[in-house]
Amino acid sequence: MSKRWENIVVIAVFFGFLAAVAVGGLVQKDRAKSTLEERALAKRPPVRVADIASGKFGRDLETYLSDQIFLRDGWLFLHSTLNMRGLGKVEMNDVVVGSGGALLGDLSGHKPMSEAKIGTELDATIAQFKELDALVGSYGGKLLVVGHPTKNSFLRASYPTGFGFPEDYTRIAPRYFAALDSAGIANVDMAPILEQHRSEGLYLLTDHHWTFRGGYLTYVAMMERLGLKPLAEADLDIQTLPNQFAGSFNRKLAMAFPETQKLVIATPKVPIPYARTQDGKPSPSFFKNHAPGVGVSYRIYDQGDLAEIVVDTSRPSLPNVLLVGDSFANVIETLLWTGFNQSRYLDLRHYTATSLYDYVRMYKPDVVITLVRDERYLYRVGNGLFSGSGAETDTE
Amino acid sequence: MLFSSVSFLFAFLPLAVCVYFVAPGRHVKNLVLLALSIVFYAYGGLGSLAVLGCSILANYLCGLAVDHFRDVPRAARTALVVGVVVNVALLASFKYLGFLAGSVSAVSGISLPVPTLIMPIGVSFFTFEGLSYIIDVYRAKAPAQRNPLDVALYMGLFATIMSGPIVRYSQFHEQIRGRSDRLEGLAAGAKRFTVGLAKKMIIAGALGTLANSAFATPDVDLSVAAAWLGALAFTGQIYFDFSGYSDMAVGLGQMFGFRLPENFDYPYISQSVTEFWRRWHISLGTWFREYIYIPLGGNRVTRLVNLRNILIVWALTGLWHGASWTFVVWGVYYGALMAVEKFVLGDRLERIWRPIRHMATMLAVVVGWVIFKSDTLGGALQYLQTMLGLGGQTLVDGRALFYLAQYRFELIIAVVASLPLVPLARGWWEKSERSALARGLFTAGTALVLAALLIVSTSYVVSTTFSPFLYFKF
């Protein structure tokens, strides 16, 4: 082969590749959002002289071209797969590969709290619960605080060398429940209960949430602590969805790990008539679309993280309940309503109409439950802020 | 616009090559290149472009004045001085004003107001090229350009404006009209560009993550081993990042027919600090030698004056890298090391066993990079203390083992790629006649490696824009 042909081959490969990706990007239709990244993708920026002059146009164009590059998800998958499975990396994009293939959150950037800080924060947190307890008690209601370990905490022994679950978090949990006990606030610590069921796969392998089983056990513990009868598994029509599941941690790795797990949903065997609204609009289903062939994520449960959900069963003989919690509450929400007249579910990260105190004053639920995960025991933002009414930055 | 950005790779570059090779004649091709360079530079905003335009105009006029008054030495010299002052003032006002004001305030206790100026991208590079232009014209090493667009092409060429290499005008002027842009250059440039892209994205990116993690860790939480790994990773990162970018620049130059100077020559195989700086950022070292060191008298002076010259040049070299005392100290550190090699060790250096020389050089270089990487001198000293185990930290911890496990492949690749194995292999291959089949297989292999590097590098480029959320953010 002559030197000339060698050069032609090199030029063809190089510019052929660049041109193919460029033309592919031109030909394909722009995507509005990425399900892999769970975000809106950039749109073509308008050409404005002011933006060109300031450099904003260039920055926006760069974002647009990167977001809309031909086969974007494929490039991301290739990069993650090369690194995680090819080069055997154990951490990427704040996700750590634990033993047994469990994906965990990288908490190595966590700034540990001093003992003094823990004490101060705990006092403030308990003071808030006391105020809520007094408010609920003023009309004869009950407050229940349910704390549970996160996947990172529950599987902390699975972290590889160099990583771990922050020690101060593990110190906080016992003090948190002791303080609740001292304050006379009813509570459930799910850690020892879940521990008894460790072998039952309580957390999703590639997601940061628990499985249906983990949520169900928490629901049972809640109901029993309130002196109410939970639905037994025999009372439920439990269904394993065949749909392809996408775990939140795996998405952060561009789905480099094969998804072997399937999501489980349950409905009462004996139908209970109900009316359900989410953020004020009627929406009868407790589950997101899971038609055959549709990919599903943990957000399937109770249609994901919504500000306010109200389920009315028109059974006045039963108490009314208010459950406040983040996404871990979503599985529980699909079960809890079956035992109450009216169920209200609030996610204070998204609910901004009024404060929790005012909400309780308005509806006077017989039972108020707050579901808190251990990494948020001392947080007084989002679902930990009872007096505010603004959405905050705690997005997990 | 960065060479490793999606916009450059999949929009600007293919379009630029198409338009350039379709354009007829050298004059039109040069206009096309200039227009492309303006688009490339204006991508970051028009403010920087205006500064670049003023700099080009000033140097063009000074060059003309120097040339015009060539027979009137005092006038020519005045024109040169004006040009130098304009260039230095431009660089100082955009890059060093805050640093100067801060230093004066720190010493005098008087708080000086400093206007916030956005530093034009590549100002250090194009200013040095502007200086090179007027000085080379003054020295009659190259003619003054009558056409300002040619000066603009020299100073604003998109291949070199962001990160060099710093091309001296005497190296460049003949290429403005006399270069040949052929298939061979296009192919060689494509290969060189791909290698540079891979070095930057695949090796430097990973090592940078390791280095940033180690340097961001509080000293009390950093083990001795993790500190060393961080320092070594930065040593690799800065080489593969900068030399990768230089490879891309040189490759782009080749595509358009330019022979840009080499900037790196396997610096980590050096046997002395002096040799290291002959192999590291060669275009900058050459610039300082040509325009500062030799005019100061170079080494044809007394030992004391020579020592002064070395320290001046290296303090300026440090300052050129950034407006901070850490950079000045870093530069002086190298100046001092070179002075020791020259005046204290002298010929005895050559008699030391080569592996010892190499290890000592690398140790000096790694220490230098710790100073370079640290935000403050105090931070650098603390980090060096940790590396020496003087801070009471543990020798090895889980974090160090994690670093080693996580980046083992990149660290191995970095060590291997720091050695001149490719030129050796190329020399061996080209030494004897090969059969047509062997050449065909070699071409196929080259194409495959090129394609693989492009594909993998692209995945790394796109991954830098990966922004996944645990929860939706639509």
**Domain range summary for chain B, segments of one domain joined by +:** 6-179, 209-239+264-417
Most B CBs within 10 A among A9, A10, A60, hence the mutation to make, goes to A10
| Cβ–Cβ under 8 Å, residues A235 and A266 | no
Domain spans in chain A, listed from the N-terminal domain onward: 17-70, 115-384
For B270, B279, B332, the CA distances from B357, given in Å and listed in that order, are 8, 16, 21
Q: Across the interface, do B11 and A22 touch by the CB < 8 Å criterion? A: yes
Q: Across the interface, do A7 and B186 touch by the CB < 8 Å criterion? A: yes
CA distance B299 to B313: 12
Residue B414 pLDDT class (50, 70, 90 cuts) = very high
Candidates A14, A38, A396; nearest CB to B450: A14
Which residues are A236's β-sheet partners? A268
CA distance A45 to B13: 21
Give this prediction's pTM.
0.89
Instruction: Express as a percent the part of chain B with pLDDT over 70.
Output: 99
Task: Tell me, yes or no, if A37 comes closer than 8 A to chain B by beta carbon.
Answer: yes
> Which residues have CB under 8 Å from A44's CB, separation 6+?
A30, A64
Q: Across the interface, do B474 and A8 touch by the CB < 8 Å criterion? A: no
The kind and range of the H/E element at A265 are: strand A264-268
More confident residue, B113 or B122: B122
Q: Which ranges of chain A have pLDDT less than 70?
A: 1, 389-396
The chain-wide mean pLDDT, for chain B, equals 92
Q: What is the pLDDT of residue B435?
A: 84
Classify burial at A286, counting beta carbons within 10 Å of its beta carbon; exposed 0-12, middle 13-18, buried 19 or more.
buried
Name the residue in chain A with its Cα closest to that of B8: A62
Residues of chain A found within 8 Å of residue B17, distances taken between Cβ atoms: 15
Mean pLDDT score, B315-329: 94
Q: Across the interface, do B471 and A37 touch by the CB < 8 Å criterion? A: no
CA distance B437 to B12: 37
Q: Which two tokens stand for residue A90?
A: 């154990």
Candidates B10, B403, B468; nearest CB to A38: B468
Candidates B11, B402, B403; nearest CB to A65: B11
Q: Across the interface, do B9 and A36 touch by the CB < 8 Å criterion? A: no
More confident residue, B433 or B90: B90
CA distance A261 to B473: 25
Q: Across the interface, do B450 and A160 touch by the CB < 8 Å criterion? A: no
Q: Residue A4 CB: number of other CB atoms within 10 A?
A: 11
Q: Across the interface, do A162 and B470 touch by the CB < 8 Å criterion? A: no
Each residue of B189-223: pLDDT tens digit?
999 999 999 999 999 999 999 999 999 988 888 89
Residues of chain B found within 8 Å of residue A36, distances taken between Cβ atoms: 468
More confident residue, A5 or B334: B334
The pair phi, psi for residue A265, each rounded to 5°, is -125, 160
Give the closest-approach CA distance of B467 to chain A in angstroms.
Answer: 6
Name the residue in chain A with its Cα closest to that of B435: A1
A residues 43-72 lying closer than 8 A (beta carbon) to B: 52-55, 58, 61-63, 65-67, 69, 72
The pair phi, psi for residue A246, each rounded to 5°, is -125, 110
Q: What is the pLDDT of residue B474?
A: 40
A residues 74-103 lying closer than 8 A (beta carbon) to B: 75-76, 78-80, 82, 87-91, 93
Instruction: Express as a percent the part of chain A with pLDDT over 90.
Output: 86
> Which residues have CB under 8 Å from A224's CB, separation 6+?
A230
Give me the active site residues of B, please. 321
Mean pLDDT score, B143-152: 94
Q: What is the pLDDT of residue B54?
A: 96
Candidates B7, B13, B14; nearest CB to A62: B7
Q: Across the interface, do B469 and A38 touch by the CB < 8 Å criterion? A: yes
Give the closest-approach CA distance of A13 to chain B in angstroms.
Answer: 6
User: Residue A189 in 3-state DSSP?
Assistant: strand
Please, what is the angle between helix B354-373 and helix B224-255, to 10°? 90
Give the closest-approach CA distance of A19 to chain B in angstroms.
Answer: 7
| Cβ–Cβ under 8 Å, residues B135 and B63 | no
Q: Across the interface, do A162 and B10 touch by the CB < 8 Å criterion? A: no
Each residue of A176-207: pLDDT tens digit?
999 999 999 999 999 999 999 999 999 999 99
Q: Across the interface, do A58 and B402 touch by the CB < 8 Å criterion? A: no
Sequential DSSP letters for B368-408: HHHHHH-SSHHHHHHHHHHHTTTT---SS-HHHHHHHHHTH
Give the closest-approach CA distance of A333 to chain B in angstroms.
Answer: 18
> Which residues have CB under 8 Å from A371's CB, separation 6+?
A146, A148, A218, A323, A324, A325, A326, A328, A329, A332
Q: Residue B403 CB: number of other CB atoms within 10 A?
A: 26
Task: Tell me, yes or no, if A18 comes closer than 8 A to chain B by beta carbon.
Answer: yes
More confident residue, B106 or A46: A46
Using the structure block, give the residue that is written with the tokens 């490793």. B4
CA distance B92 to A201: 64
Residues of chain A found within 8 Å of residue B13, distances taken between Cβ atoms: 18
Task: Tell me, yes or no, if A26 comes closer than 8 A to chain B by beta carbon.
Answer: no
Candidates A15, A53, A161; nearest CB to B17: A15
Q: Across the interface, do A65 and B14 touch by the CB < 8 Å criterion? A: no
Where does A241-294 have alpha helices with state H? 248-252
Where does B256-293 have alpha helices with state H? 273-279, 282-288
pLDDT score of B472 more than 50: no
Q: Across the interface, do A18 and B14 touch by the CB < 8 Å criterion? A: yes
For A53, B166, B249, the CA distances from B52, given in Å and listed in that order, are 14, 15, 19
Q: Across the interface, do A37 and B191 touch by the CB < 8 Å criterion? A: no
Give the closest-approach CA distance of B227 to chain A in angstroms.
Answer: 14
Most A CBs within 10 A among B39, B443, B450, B464, hence the mutation to make, goes to B443
Q: What is the pLDDT of residue B212?
A: 93
CA distance A10 to A372: 59
More confident residue, B44 or B361: B361
Closest CA to A221 of A184, A195, A182, A240: A195
pLDDT score of B469 more than 70: no
Mean pLDDT score, B403-409: 92
Q: How far apart are the first and last CA of chain B?
A: 27
- Prediction ipTM score: 0.91
Each residue of B241-284: pLDDT tens digit?
999 999 999 999 999 999 999 999 999 999 999 999 999 999 99
Sheet holding A91-92, edge to edge: A91-92, A95-97, A103-105
Task: Tell me, yes or no, if A1 comes closer than 8 A to chain B by beta carbon.
Answer: yes
Where does chain A have alpha helices with state H? 3-27, 49-54, 56-67, 72-80, 115-138, 151-154, 167-182, 190-195, 212-225, 248-252, 329-336, 356-363
Name the residue in chain B with its Cα closest to that of A66: B6
User: Residue B135 in 3-state DSSP?
Assistant: helix
Candidates B446, B447, B468; nearest CB to A37: B468
Q: What is the pLDDT of residue A3?
A: 82
Most B CBs within 10 A among A5, A13, A61, hence the mutation to make, goes to A13
Mean pLDDT score, B106-134: 87
Mean pLDDT score, B133-139: 96
Q: Across the interface, do A160 and B402 touch by the CB < 8 Å criterion? A: yes
